[in-house]
Structure 1
């Protein structure tokens, strides 16, 4: 009987190890003859101590253990295997010549057995059971290899994204500066200034995308570093709103502050949290005012709420902070803004949530006051 399916491509280069332990040489020879296959490497041991030595040097798919052995019986060997991180997950089938005994079988299962077979063993039964565990092991090994390959590909992709977005900043800065210089030098030509306006707004939008991609790469790679300093978050919010007034003069932005608004924060990251929440609110809130509220009435947590007119669809609400939402929700950007805001809020020991409330969308970031 072929114990390994031909479609298991992982077996072409590496054989699968199978451990057989029996103190009687004739039994080992018989099991070897029964289970020998091209892609199986049979490791035979005549004692528990010899089996442990083999397990130190080899990873096995299955262990067939004789119960009755001198010095160390199969149950003791199984318990030692279960006590080791390397071998605790190896499936064990016990083989015994004793009559069927429920208490003894229970002891075997308690020691970690997946099966308990009585001698003389039917060849087709043992071959069938071994085949199942060998194929399961081959599938796990194949899955582990593919996961490792996928992780390497993702790491390479994220590294390339980080390098690309970093290198894009320099030429983009040149384009933006040239556009600003032309705006100052151009004569009073409405059509030309309108074209320059498109260029400047597109440049700013691209700069935001580059920054978001770079932040995304840092978050995914674990390279995000924050510096916490005691600051007044109200001052950070006022500065952020002032920047938005310059770039979006038509937007109606309202700031309300209550209580103590000081906290240990990374000001740049909190600015990004608020900027991303504001950008989302302005984009989806129409012409109605966007309200930013800082609630410092709690001693442990500072609440930052941004609300705009409208409602979030019920099917989108649970997925609002996923990255690249553009694939399932219309957006003018990459769909990374709220994901980054969520990650930066978590980095401040807080949470970011969203809800529909009386005809308005409310995004609420709860930031821990003490992060040092």
Structure 2
């Protein structure tokens, strides 16, 4: 909070020095003037909480100064205390109060009285400052609420538009299918509906992701990741968008391995979103480029296009929520305007940065991501290819417990491809008997099952003397921190979030088998 200013006006320097010594305190600035003219100059510059004016001064006296102060919009409300050595008759008092005085103090001054009276005006000005600060805070808060309300309305309008886009071909496709079209037309309709469902799922996923990241609910699963793997995964995810726009995509990745510490899924999402945006906002038949290289202690991933570009006026806020280039209602590409905001948040969580450059409309754009380079040792590189095998080097025996037969069977296929043996159990009530018969090395256990859930099954394993030390991996569609804490409390060794991929399953198996080996050792 800014200091409080008092104005001391007296033609005698000794009087000013005495007043200054008497009133000095923290957060108080004492402005001194030896004439009415000097005082007016100071009043034009400073916000004064109190004026202490000598009445009898050569030239402009205290009364005349007070009258000029009352005639000015800036100074008319400044409280004035007159200091006078002469007898203050009623006529002089009347003139002083008429000029705006709040009090008269007779010289020689009684210092305790002066201190007490000036303290009142110091405190009043402090309260005024606090009220002004609170008013500014309330105005800023009201402006934020207004802006948020405007964003909400804008977002709901965009959301309604973007959801109707994929729903329209889905609805029309169903109507056409009811009419028993030809096999060729049926295949064509299935393809359209499948693409629109993928688009709809992506919209929902982006909504959930940006909400979780904004609330700090996303926890990165950091590991040593090679940039080439991230690029490859992003290219696979973005292939339909690139091919759908009939674009040419040129990819250049540094020939030597570049490693970062990060969440592979989230970093793939970052690069994939940038590629999707480039494809979306580039006219059909455009050229996209992706370059990944090392720049000193950074890994740089640059995605460029020769599309519609970004106006200079929009480049400063392109990473804000709900920002779109052009009017969304007039562009078939649409989008919720949250993809780049999500990208920036995820990059920041990896201690990285993202920047955009564009020469203007229809001149393309380049998005450049920088991530801290991680120097990997030879043993770390070789461990990347290590599989999940039992401590003795043989294939694992894995018990899969899931009430969904399709999910259980597909997990079994993955395990078979890894070279492991498995048995499927579709009812949690038979899990312990199956484990005693099969004697597994690892248990993959679903959480949400009828009759008995995965938590209860896991606790039953932990209470059985012959099965209590089995490594148990939870596989569930719930992935919040509270869900992971719940599985840990129930006795699970690892938490997998569905849908489970090859890499995630392999990593989980490697972790729990190493954990078991450490416990046995």
TM-score between the two structures when normalised by the length of structure 1: 0.56
For 1:230, what is the secondary structure of its paired residue? strand
- 1:257 paired residue number: 253
Q: Distance in 1 between matches of 2:181 and 2:370?
A: 49
- What corresponds to 1:112 in structure 2? 27
> 1:1-372 alignment to 2 at 5 Å?
89=1, 100-102=15-17, 105=20, 111-113=26-28, 118=52, 121=81, 124=102, 134-144=127-137, 188-246=182-240, 248-249=242-243, 250-258=246-254, 259-286=256-283, 287-296=285-294, 298-310=295-307, 311-326=309-324, 330=328, 332-356=334-358, 359-370=363-374
TM-aligned CA deviation for residue 190 of structure 1: 4.4
* Alpha-carbon spacing, 1:222–1:152, altered in 2? closer, same or farther (3 Å): farther
CA contact (8 A) 1:300 1:369 kept: yes
Aligned to 1:238, the other structure's residue is in SS state helix
Match of 2:74 in 1: none
Change (3 A) 1:118 1:214: same
CA deviation string 1:115-158 (max 9, x = no partner):
6654993553889987765444334334546767998997xx99
How many angstroms apart in 2 are the aligned matches of 1:235 and 1:267?
Answer: 8
- Tell me how far 1:301 sits from its aligned partner: 0.6
Aligned partners of 1:342 and 1:352 also within 8 Å: yes
Which residue is 2:39 aligned to?
none
CA-based RMSD of the aligned residues comes to 4.7
Whole-angstrom distance in 2 between the partners of 1:106 and 1:345: 58
Worse-matched range after superposition: 262-271 or 315-324: 315-324
Query: What secondary structure is seen at the aligned counterpart in 2 of 1:121?
Result: strand
Cα 1:101–1:321 shift into 2, 3 Å:
same
Q: Runs of 5+ in structure 1 lacking a partner?
A: 1-88, 166-171
TM-aligned CA deviation for residue 356 of structure 1:
3.0
* Offset from partner CA, 1:182-234 (integer Å, 9 cap, x none): x9xx9754444444444333332232222222222223222232122111111
Change (3 A) 1:217 1:146: farther
The Cα offsets for residues 296-349 of structure 1, whole Å up to 9 and x where unpaired, read as: 3x3521000111113322222222222211386546111111121122112222
Aligned partners of 1:206 and 1:145: how far apart in 2? 40
The Cα of 1:357 is off from its aligned counterpart by 6.7
- CA gap of 1:318–1:143, structure 2 versus 1, over 3 A, is closer
Kept after mapping to 2: 8 A contact 1:93/1:117 = no
Cα distance, 1:100 vs structure 2:
3.6
Q: Distance in 2 between matches of 1:313 and 1:112?
A: 48
- Distance verdict in 2 for CA 1:93–1:370, change over 3 Å: same
Give 3-state SS (helix, strand or coil) of 1:325's partner.
coil
Task: Tell me the equivalent position of 1:18.
Answer: none
1:239–1:93 distance in 2 versus 1, CA, 3 Å? closer
Using the alignment, how far apart are the partners of 1:202 and 1:263 within structure 2? 34
Secondary structure of 2:358's partner? strand
Greater relative contact order structure (CA < 8 Å, 6+ sep):
1
